[in-house]
A and B are shown apart, each in its own frame.
Chain A
């Protein structure tokens, strides 16, 4: 525990117990299992590893996964902020019902979601028919992947912004208004900076989740090599060749990227909190 000794004196009891349990549980459920990815990649050796993770198809799949997840996360950030705002600030009939439905993407199995979207947006589906008239292809194109990922990531953004928005003290807004700021100025200059960390957290989580999503995407993506093949599918198809090492290698790269993204996010937040104080 020497390592964890802090600057400010910790006077509350229970550090050893709570930290011990946290580290134990974290190791048992997350770290030890995840390390298997690493241990299964090692026997490959460096050259074959590089060869596997930089194969053109694999690279194309990374590109696709990252770009679609990014678009979806940006869309989710906008819609999530809007939804949180409407749910917290306004009172209207059916508000609680909408609030309840925000979590639906968590509860609906991703496969069901994928099937639903593929059916809705297919050329003979309820929405696809309309889009087909305008010659817009949704399913079997990157657009379809984005649609599925928007759905998957949506609750992350809403649920991180909502509590922060609830806690915002209205007095600040009132003061700003008294000082002659317009509503839009108040929002942009006062509220948005305050909400920004939560917004960033929410959309990063949506982004990270989007990179790894499999169940819903394979139904709507089309899965064409070099075009609409997502990174998790590359893992799956390697596994189907009984190539555990190759699958682990691709997984390891995805894992490292996601981890560094989250680490960066937490560092930025830590830094912001210090600024704020």
Chain B
């Protein structure tokens, strides 16, 4: 997964067979064309609108208290969701790839399921589960526990929506790596956690990191499911995407897109983190 060329393998990379230049140019051109129409233009629109009233207005809109509250809520959600789903992803991948058991395909399908569930349904199920119409929900209400229409609801809905990302990333990777290394360590007398920490974890770190990045990107941007469980209380239960929508329906386009641009920056930031960590790792592994 995302192997960076190490010094030893570099010469091989150079020698690698490649397509003729015109083919390369044509394929890159086609890719660019797609990126322009489907990625750059929407992105351009976001920034064009964000800066349509000038820099100062832009800064003002993203420093506005409600916007800051939304950013805080979104980051809180990400900080809870990503570690939980990462922990789950690693555990599930360990169980699925290191052991044989019946019903594996069904289990894997269940892991994928949240991808296929409409965000509308993803929000609805939690309302049906812990909404105050239900016995369980009204009991929770009597205990003074609020889940939906407050932060826990937003966190749970986001957990659901981003549930498969880490596991999805790790399972194929660990399947490809097999279990020989771990089994060898076992015969050499290593204990379970040692095997995991010294062998498995280093082997899967890029997959894990990558899954976590996708997971955080998606939790930052989730709109549909969160919108159902949020309650839309300004300054309290509005995440960034919801705040964007609110500003937009207030006809405050410039502010709305300014806040949306924060999301773009956050997305780029996560990728930046990934690139930096990759470089860092390359340096470290080189010294070994």
- A–B interface present (Cβ within 8 A): yes
* Complex CA–CA separation, A261 to B112 (angstroms): 11
Does A133 reach chain B (CB closer than 8 Å)?
Answer: no
Q: Which residues of B contact A119 (CB under 8 A)?
A: 45
The majority secondary structure among interface residues of chain A is helix
Does A211 reach chain B (CB closer than 8 Å)?
Answer: yes
B45 near A106: Cβ-Cβ < 8 Å: no
A214 near B46: Cβ-Cβ < 8 Å: no
Q: Which residues of B contact A120 (CB under 8 A)?
A: 41-42, 45
A107 near B217: Cβ-Cβ < 8 Å: yes
B200 CB to closest chain A CB (Å) equals 10
Q: B134: nearest residue on chain A (CB-CB)?
A: A36
Number of interface residues of B (CB under 8 A): 101
A12 near B195: Cβ-Cβ < 8 Å: yes
B105 near A266: Cβ-Cβ < 8 Å: yes
B27 near A10: Cβ-Cβ < 8 Å: no
With A31-B110, A89-B19, A106-B218 already in contact, the answer to whether A259 and B102 are too (CB < 8 A) is no
Within 8 A of A (CB), among B199-217: 207, 213-214, 217
B125 near A36: Cβ-Cβ < 8 Å: yes
* Complex CA–CA separation, A209 to B27 (angstroms): 27
B113 CB to closest chain A CB (Å) equals 6
Interface string of B103-134 (1 = CB under 8 A from A): 11111111111111111110011101100000
B35 near A98: Cβ-Cβ < 8 Å: yes
Q: Which residues of B contact A109 (CB under 8 A)?
A: 221-223, 240-241, 244-245, 260, 263
A40 near B103: Cβ-Cβ < 8 Å: no
A215 near B223: Cβ-Cβ < 8 Å: yes
Q: B211: nearest residue on chain A (CB-CB)?
A: A159
Most chain B CB within 10 A, of A109, A111, A119, A183, is at: A109
* Complex CA–CA separation, A155 to B267 (angstroms): 13
Does B24 reach chain A (CB closer than 8 Å)?
Answer: yes
Q: B49: nearest residue on chain A (CB-CB)?
A: A119
Most chain B CB within 10 A, of A12, A151, A247, is at: A12
A108 near B45: Cβ-Cβ < 8 Å: no
With A10-B100, A18-B95, A29-B163 already in contact, the answer to whether A82 and B31 are too (CB < 8 A) is yes
B121 near A235: Cβ-Cβ < 8 Å: yes
